[in-house]
Amino acid sequence: MSLIDPRFLLAALLALLVVYGAGYSKGERDSAAAQQQELQEWQLTAEAATELYLQARDRKDVRYRTITQTVEVAKNATPDIADCRTGDDWMRIYRDNAAIANGTAVPAGSGGADRADAR
């Protein structure tokens, strides 16, 4: 049997195909395992980010509720400004009330019917 013998070449080719097939199969399994691992890591990261987002949102909701309650308390404590929430009227009424409470004259040009609201 020499190196040119067709049986030897066929056996070498068959062995080469078996090794190639085994390597291909192992590579495919490794690739699938790596993709699965990457997917699991991504899912864990996404779940952690979602949890952090929900916690931050809940904290903001509490703060917004507190601010809203504070504004409502202030608005209800001063019934003459219940309809004035923004603009010059809000500050004018506060200035007028402070001037009246301090016993001073209401500042001239502090607003009123002679001037349009700046809203």
- Binning pLDDT at 50, 70 and 90, where does residue 115 land? low
Residues above pLDDT 90, as percent of the chain: 34
- Distance of alpha carbon 93 from alpha carbon 112, whole angstroms: 10
Query: Tens digit of pLDDT for each residue in 59-114?
Result: 877 776 676 677 677 776 666 655 555 556 667 777 777 777 777 766 666 555 45
Domain boundaries, the chain: 6-77, 81-109
- Distance of alpha carbon 53 from alpha carbon 56, whole angstroms: 5
pTM, rounded to two decimals: 0.39
SS3 assignment for 78-118? CHHHCCCCCHHHHHHHHHHHHHHHHCCCCCCCCCCCCCCCC
- Distance of alpha carbon 55 from alpha carbon 10, whole angstroms: 67
| Position 49 pLDDT exceeds 90 | yes
